[in-house]
Amino acid sequence: MERWVGIAVSGDRITLVDASVETGKPLLIKSDQTLKLQKGDRAAAYAVVHGQVSDYISNHKIGRVVIKASAVSQSGSGKSHLDAAELRGVVMAAAASATEVSTIAKAQISKTFGSRKFDEYVRDDGFWTTAIAGVALRAGSRDAALLLLAAKD
């Protein structure tokens, strides 16, 4: 059994789901938390997030991190989309300094995991009652947990 972390970055928030992963069994959720980018100087805030992510991964002996990849914007890329991409890059670098990292796009999961689309799994309460165990998972953290399920299979 290995410990993995799934991460979804949205705006100035990082959703981090830590789980024990074992083939053929539900994810055993150890932790479900949100890190928020500090206000003020972005470079200094990025340094803080980098430290938080790399320390968490090192201190909890995480074997793999799976990060939700950037989505292609249909309506062009606004500043918030670019800011989230910057933060995602910081998180990727922090995780890579401590363990193996991979990224998975929503579209890829929709094609390779099960028979439904990503968002259909996220909304399906019944699916989550059998897919996870352990610490209660917040509904907003399902994206990060689904990354782990897709990477596991």
- pLDDT tens track for 90-99: 999 999 999 9
Q: How many domains does the chain have?
A: 1
Whole-prediction pTM value?
A: 0.93
What pLDDT does residue 80 have? 78
Read off φ and ψ for residue 9, nearest 5 degrees: -105, 130
User: What confidence score (pLDDT) does residue 34 get?
Assistant: 97
State the Cα–Cα distance between residues 122 and 33, nearest whole angstrom.
Answer: 17
Structural domain that includes position 88: 2-152
The CATH number covering residue 89 comes to: 3.30.420.10
| 51 or 114, which is more confident | 51
